[in-house]
Amino acid sequence: MGESAITRKSWSDRIFDFFVYFVILFVVVITIYPFLNVLAISLNDSVDSVRGGVTIYPRQFTWDNYLKIFTFSGLITGFKISALRTVVGTLFGLISASMLAFTISRPDFAGRKFVSTFLAMTMYISGGMIPIYMLIKDLHMMNSFAVYVLPGLVSAFNVFVIRSFIDGLPYALQESAKLDGANDFTIYFRVILPLMKPALATIALFLAVGQWNAWLDTYLYNGSSPNLTTLQFELMKVLQTTTSGNGGDYRSNIASLASNQVSPESLKMAITIVVTVPILLVYPFIQKYFVKGMTLGAVKS
Amino acid sequence: MKADTVTSQIPPDTRTRNKKPASGGRFWRSFKNQKYLWMMSIPFVIWAFIFSYLPLWGWTMAFQKYKPARGFFEQEWVGFEHFKTLFSDSQFLLALRNTLAMSGMGLVAGLIFPITFAILLNEVRLGFFKRFAQTVSYLPHFVSWVVAAGIVTKMLSGENGIVNDILLGIGFIDAPIQFMAQGHLFWGIVTLSDIWKETGWNAIIYLAAIAGIGPELYEAARVDGASRLRQVWHITLPGIRPTITVLLIMSIGNLLNIGFEKQFLLGNNLVTDYSQVLDLYSLKYGLGMARYSYGTAINIFNSVISVILLFTINGIFKRTTKESLL
């Protein structure tokens, strides 16, 4: 009897349940519909798409839009540069953040307080867009690949997330490695790095998403170097062409693409898919780690 | 020195085992012992100095009539002239208004929606549906604002946009609304796009906070006959209050730092009166017209206000509640 009193649902609880499922379902539909719609249009015959009414599945299936956009040279270069900056940026970001986190986690390190304070300050102070732009210019980093990796190399936030993870590891591991004759560099590589996989996976995801999705640095520093532009930047130019009417050279580019009965709308959707899918492929692999990593970072900082 | 006394106390045979006798002070010796730790941190300290601290030096530009060709000592100093121009420019005041409006709306929405979503998701009892809904909810976080802006424009489009199709379908309107061409709708569009993109992701922190609430509290409430709604109100919400406070302080501190990605990508020439924000203004008038000094003055204004906001809000919260960030 006591149990039934607990499990029995009152009317108010049933209404509450209905409301909960209704709202969550609504959120799911609103979130996922645009993606399915874009995918359907990108796979639909472009002339047919203009008639409208394509929802979540292609009405007249075709790969034509994708074949068309890959003849567009900016896209291939963009893909290469985006992939390269994602790999290089993530790798260097991981090394720098984990090394720094390792050093400031060491209670015996004499520079611990200085290094961590120096880093923490960077989270609150920023020179702003124009002083940074002038610095990049003075360092002769305009129109270079380095501008994608160097200025954002160290993120204090990432360092502190990894550091709190290292703090959770038993320090005795490092001490015993030291007794075996390992130096600090070896301890970092052999002891700490292998144990940090969950934290590294989380940070790698943040870094990779940030790198893949960035377009502003291309716009500010590398916009005039066609062999250094990224995929996001190319998509940005294509999308801005028809929405706001600026970027005249791209208008003609799209117009030439759009000849032969291909509507720019379908092409835009195909490019959007090409830009989106690679990063969405990464996250299921790392998903199991990042909720934990995110929470850790949020609590500690 | 203390270090020397320690060394002299060591028996002679152990001292000879050290290849190099102690030279210099204690600091130097510990520096040598920790040379790998220093090697692993010094390059990044130098990096942080160059890319985070050196731009602050660039603030001097705001008080000069900066000409790139001249050296620092050859610049002409003008004091607060650029700031005076700034505050008398109606475009700047418009940008300030838009920044405050959009960040204010974003602040409120960014608080209400993730909290509500997290609480509702927590009430879902079907495990697989809960996981599915959560996974779907943070999908948009992973796409760039370029893609998101493209999707939003597509959905709100006057030709075959789903929103107009639905509104026409239920007979709410007779002709499609040109959402993206109407200035007074722009703030709402930016805010709704932000909600669509980030609600699921931002809910993660609140979900984690909810998970930390002791199940015995709910157990007790159930025994007392509290409805599910009452449990949310009296247990879940108070339970996540510290998290809410900290995140609120952080977002208020960043009120002016909303950037300009969304406004740049979603805006167009028809809606500039509503889409122009401070950073976009500094990009356009500072970089675009090579008025570096003027643009820097805007950046300084931004930073100073942000710091003042952060400390004020933190102070208020420190006094009224026990939670604080700094």
Check residues B284 and A28 and name the one with the higher pLDDT: A28
Torsions phi, psi for B20 (to 5 deg) = -105, 130
Instruction: Kindly tell me if the per-residue pLDDT of A6 is higher than 80.
Output: no
| Per-position pLDDT tens, chain B of length 326 | 344 444 444 444 444 444 444 455 777 777 778 888 898 999 999 999 999 999 988 898 888 888 877 777 778 888 888 899 889 988 999 999 999 899 899 999 999 999 999 999 999 988 899 989 988 998 999 999 999 999 999 899 888 888 988 998 898 888 888 898 888 999 999 999 999 999 999 998 899 889 888 889 988 998 888 888 889 999 999 999 988 888 888 787 777 777 788 999 998 888 989 999 988 998 888 888 888 899 999 989 888 888 888 788 778 877 776 665 55
- Residue A301 pLDDT: 39
Cβ contact B51–A153 (<8 Å):
yes
Of all residues in chain A, the one with the smallest CA distance to B119 is: A20
Closest CB to A184: pick one of B37, B180, B286.
B37
C-alpha closest to that of A85 among A208, A204, A236, A233: A208
Return the residue matching tokens 């870094």: A207
Q: What is the CA radius of gyration of chain B?
A: 28
Do the Cβ atoms of A230 and A82 come closer than 8 Å? yes
Instruction: Kindly tell me if the per-residue pLDDT of A97 is higher than 90.
Output: yes
- Residue A98 pLDDT: 93
- Which chain B residues are Cβ-neighbours of A32 within 8 angstroms? 136, 139
Q: Does A182 reach chain B within 8 Å, measured CB to CB?
A: no
The answer for A 56-95 residues in CB contact with B (under 8 A) is none
Alpha-carbon gap: B9 to the closest alpha carbon of chain A (Å) = 23
- Residue B324 pLDDT: 59
Best mutation target among B44, B70, B308 (most A Cβ atoms within 10 Å) is B44
Instruction: Kindly tell me if the per-residue pLDDT of A295 is higher than 80.
Output: no
Alpha-carbon gap: B310 to the closest alpha carbon of chain A (Å) = 10
Closest CB to B55: pick one of A13, A109, A127.
A127
Do the Cβ atoms of B325 and B314 come closer than 8 Å? yes
Average pLDDT, chain A: 83
Cβ contact A37–B129 (<8 Å):
no
Alpha-carbon gap: B8 to the closest alpha carbon of chain A (Å) = 23
Task: Compute CA distances A6 → B189, B218, B229, B250, whole Å.
Answer: 45, 11, 15, 40
- Which chain A residues are Cβ-neighbours of B308 within 8 angstroms? none
Strand ranges (E), A96-219: none
Alpha-carbon gap: A245 to the closest alpha carbon of chain B (Å) = 8
How many CB atoms sit inside 10 A of residue B227's CB?
17
Of all residues in chain A, the one with the smallest CA distance to B45 is: A115
Cβ contact A130–B286 (<8 Å):
yes
| Averaged pLDDT for residues A181-210 | 88
Torsions phi, psi for B324 (to 5 deg) = -155, 165
**DSSP single-letter state for residue B255:** T
Instruction: Provide the CB-side half-sphere exposure for B31 (13 A, CA).
Output: 8
Best mutation target among A24, A149, A153, A218 (most B Cβ atoms within 10 Å) is A24
Cβ contact B59–A127 (<8 Å):
yes
Residues in chain B: 326
Q: CA-to-CA distance for B117 and B123, rounded, in angstroms? A: 10
What secondary structure does DSSP assign to B221-242, as a single string? Answer: HHHTT--HHHHIIIIIHHHTHH
How many CB atoms sit inside 10 A of residue A190's CB?
12
Give the best-scoring range by mean pLDDT among A212-216, A261-265, B57-61: A212-216
Of all residues in chain A, the one with the smallest CA distance to B223 is: A6
Do the Cβ atoms of B266 and B180 come closer than 8 Å? yes
Cβ contact B31–A110 (<8 Å):
yes
Q: CA-to-CA distance for B214 and B226, rounded, in angstroms? A: 16
Do the Cβ atoms of A82 and A232 come closer than 8 Å? yes
Helices (H) and strands (E) in chain A, counts: 17, 0
Best mutation target among B27, B37, B128 (most A Cβ atoms within 10 Å) is B37
- Which chain A residues are Cβ-neighbours of B301 within 8 angstroms? none
Q: Does A281 reach chain B within 8 Å, measured CB to CB?
A: no
Do the Cβ atoms of B158 and B176 come closer than 8 Å? yes
Check residues B321 and A222 and name the one with the higher pLDDT: A222
pLDDT band at A26 (very low <50, low <70, confident <90, very high): very high
Delimiting residues of CATH 1.10.3720.10 domain(s) in chain A:
68-299
Residue B243, both tokens: 């998290």
Q: Does A128 reach chain B within 8 Å, measured CB to CB?
A: yes
Identify residue A62 by its one-letter amino acid code. Answer: T
C-alpha closest to that of B241 among B208, B207, B217, B209: B209
Q: How many CB pairs under 8 A join A and B?
A: 248
C-alpha closest to that of A19 among B112, B206, B232: B232
What secondary structure does DSSP assign to B57-88, as a single string? Answer: HGGGGGGEE--TTS-GGGSEE-TTHHHHHHHH
- Residue B23 pLDDT: 52
Residue B146, both tokens: 């370029």
Cβ contact A151–B51 (<8 Å):
yes
Helix (H, G, I), strand (E, B) or coil at B325: coil
Return the residue matching tokens 């796009």: B193
Domain boundaries A68-299, CATH class: mainly alpha
| Averaged pLDDT for residues A281-299 | 64
Alpha-carbon gap: B296 to the closest alpha carbon of chain A (Å) = 6
Residue B45, both tokens: 């300290």
Q: CA-to-CA distance for B277 and B263, rounded, in angstroms? A: 7
Identify residue A191 by its one-letter amino acid code. Answer: V
Closest CB to A130: pick one of B53, B135, B295.
B295
- Residue B12 pLDDT: 45
Return the residue matching tokens 């790999």: A87
Give the best-scoring range by mean pLDDT among A100-104, A108-112, A248-252: A100-104
Instruction: Kindly tell me if the per-residue pLDDT of A84 is higher than 90.
Output: yes
Q: Does A141 reach chain B within 8 Å, measured CB to CB?
A: no
Q: Does A4 reach chain B within 8 Å, measured CB to CB?
A: no
Of all residues in chain A, the one with the smallest CA distance to B41 is: A100
Instruction: Kindly tell me if the per-residue pLDDT of A246 is higher than 70.
Output: no
pTM: predicted TM-score of the whole model, two decimal places: 0.84
- Residue A291 pLDDT: 61
Alpha-carbon gap: A288 to the closest alpha carbon of chain B (Å) = 11
According to DSSP, the residues that pair with B76 across neighbouring strands are B65
- Residue B269 pLDDT: 86
- Which chain B residues are Cβ-neighbours of A95 within 8 angstroms? none
Q: CA-to-CA distance for B161 and B155, rounded, in angstroms? A: 5
Cβ contact B146–A232 (<8 Å):
yes
Do the Cβ atoms of A102 and A300 come closer than 8 Å? no
Do the Cβ atoms of A190 and A178 come closer than 8 Å? no
C-alpha closest to that of A239 among B157, B232, B31: B157
Question: Among the listed ranges A139-148, A226-235, B174-183, B314-323, which one has the minimum average pLDDT value?
Answer: B314-323
Q: Does A120 reach chain B within 8 Å, measured CB to CB?
A: no
Return the residue matching tokens 């602050």: B56
Residue B283, both tokens: 């990009």
- Residue A128 pLDDT: 85
Instruction: Kindly tell me if the per-residue pLDDT of A249 is higher than 90.
Output: no
Q: CA-to-CA distance for A196 and A199, rounded, in angstroms? A: 5
